[in-house]
Amino acid sequence: MPEGYHDVEISNLALIDACWGASVADQVVDHIQMRLHHAGLRVTQGAGRGRFRLVCNMRRPGVVDHQSLAELPYRLSAEPISIEIAANQQAAAVHAVVSWEGDNLPRYRAPRDIQIDHQERWFAIYKSDMQIVAYLFRCMREGRLTPHWQAVCDYRQPEQVLYHEGLMRFSDASEALAPDVVFPALERTGLASTFDWLMVAHVISELEFDPKATLGVNISATSAHLHGWWGSVLDDLTRRPAIAGRLVVEITETEPLTHIDDTAAFARRLRACGAALALDDFGSGYTSIRNLMQLMPAFVKTDGSFVNKVSSEHLPCYALPHLIGLIKALGGTVIVEGVETPGMADLAYVSGGVWQQGYYHGRPGLVRRGTSCALPRAHFHEKEEPIRKWMN
């Protein structure tokens, strides 16, 4: 491919075709081509159906600049494509998962992997997931899905807040869709990074609006790399240290970090611009001590199951103090998640968990309460070279 040219691919087109038919897939291709044209881009058909080569920017003569268009695939992916007539269902829509020079992106799991993961059930699962995701993005546009804030508090002085984590919640309390349904659907459809892009933009806007706030935003492991939209965001944060110094980016490993070197490069760049990194749900899922040492986060949040097991009357588990000790030995600040009762708070504290988060300290709400304190700087980076030598 000539230097300066870029390819865009609809990476879930084969799944759309299999689930809804060729006419819907053709509609998706036409829609993306039209959106590219509206963005001022001249495109030609690429090698294969659903692939486009960006030839030039008609509004600014010359070849397409990769950095200035880094967010375009996420804008395209976030917009639902109506298929009401084809699906014979009111408000039915699909999303095109658009990848930018897809072969260079660290694909943790491509959307088409669902065929392998779920075998004969993939057809029904993918259609259901896409319906959930389309509804989710529609609610975001209409303001029916808004950030709620939950504080990370000091056990000794609960009014002292380390930061508030932004959690998307439906405005209608009767809404049936729960986070444990929505987020797996985002992962399986390949749209988690698009959702993360919208969330990060919103949290940064909140930091601009409230200069006293320190806020956390949760991203999927699939978003923790420098190949997509993060490049321009981190450039902006570097120019605005007052914003960066009040931002905590939490990585949730609902998907495995199969490209740990890319994630480690992302972590270093995030620290360099002044923002803080947190590793969420440590001790469960795909988290590992090796990932902890390579990413060197400022904060490590223990999975809520640990404090829950410590307080269990029937089958108590005493792993929490040892887990906290390990994290502290490696230089991280520990946050104990899942603290729901006074007894849990006491147990977490005597186990070494000063910073805590959970319903006991406050449910997620629209209003941020408490007094934010300055974020402690990470100690991991001071041990980076010794750790790397030990690992090698």
**In CATH, what number is assigned to the domain containing residue 306?**
3.20.20.450
What's residue 235's pLDDT? Answer: 92
Please check whether residue 135 lies inside any domain of the structure.
no
CA dihedral sign, ordered 278, 282, 288, 289: positive
At 123-162, the pLDDT tens digits run: 889 999 999 999 999 999 998 888 899 999 999 999 999 9
Residues 166 and 275 occupy one common structural domain: yes
Cα 388 to Cα 392: distance, rounded to the nearest angstrom: 6
Residue that terminates a domain, selected from 127, 161, 192: 127
DSSP 291-350: HHHHH--SEEEEPHHHHHHHT-SSS----HHHHHHHHHHTTPEEEEE---SHHHHHHHHH
Distance, C-alpha 138 to centroid of its chain = 18
Please check whether residue 138 lies inside any domain of the structure.
no
Residues 37 and 148 occupy one common structural domain: no
Residues 153 and 116 occupy one common structural domain: no
Residues 82 and 154 occupy one common structural domain: no
Q: Half-sphere exposure (CA, 13 Å, Cβ side) for 381? A: 16
Instruction: Write out the residue range of the structural domain in which residue 252 sits.
Output: 144-391
At 367-378, the pLDDT tens digits run: 998 888 778 765
At 169-192, the pLDDT tens digits run: 888 777 778 888 898 899 889 899
> How many distinct helices (H) and strands (E) make up the chain?
16, 15
Distance set, CA 190 to CA 70, 165, 353 (Å): 17, 24, 35
Helix (H) or strand (E) holding 187: helix 179-189
- Average pLDDT rounded to a whole number, residues 240-268: 88
Please check whether residue 132 lies inside any domain of the structure.
no
Please check whether residue 137 lies inside any domain of the structure.
no
Buried (b) or exposed (e) across 363-390, using 16+ Cβ within 10 A? ebeeebebebeebeebebbeebeebeee
At 1-24, the pLDDT tens digits run: 345 567 889 989 989 998 999 999
Please check whether residue 196 lies inside any domain of the structure.
yes
Contacts of 80 (CB under 8 A, 6+ apart): 93, 94, 95, 134, 137, 138
Cα 249 to Cα 221: distance, rounded to the nearest angstrom: 11
C-beta separation of 149 from 165 below 8 A: yes
Cα 66 to Cα 70: distance, rounded to the nearest angstrom: 6
Residues 57 and 192 occupy one common structural domain: no
What total of structural domains would you count in the chain?
2
Residues 260 and 174 occupy one common structural domain: yes
Residues 252 and 361 occupy one common structural domain: yes
Residues 207 and 121 occupy one common structural domain: no
Please check whether residue 139 lies inside any domain of the structure.
no
Residues 95 and 180 occupy one common structural domain: no
Predicted TM-score (pTM) of this structure: 0.89
Residues 87 and 200 occupy one common structural domain: no
Residues 84 and 113 occupy one common structural domain: yes
Please check whether residue 136 lies inside any domain of the structure.
no
Maximum distance among all Cα pairs of the chain, rounded to whole angstroms: 70
Please check whether residue 362 lies inside any domain of the structure.
yes
SS3 (DSSP) at 129 = helix
Structure-token pair, residue 124 = 């029904």
Question: Could you tell me the CATH number of the domain that includes residue 86?
Answer: 3.30.70
What's residue 164's pLDDT? Answer: 97
Residue that has been written with the tokens 């014979």 in this structure: 88
Residues 94 and 241 occupy one common structural domain: no
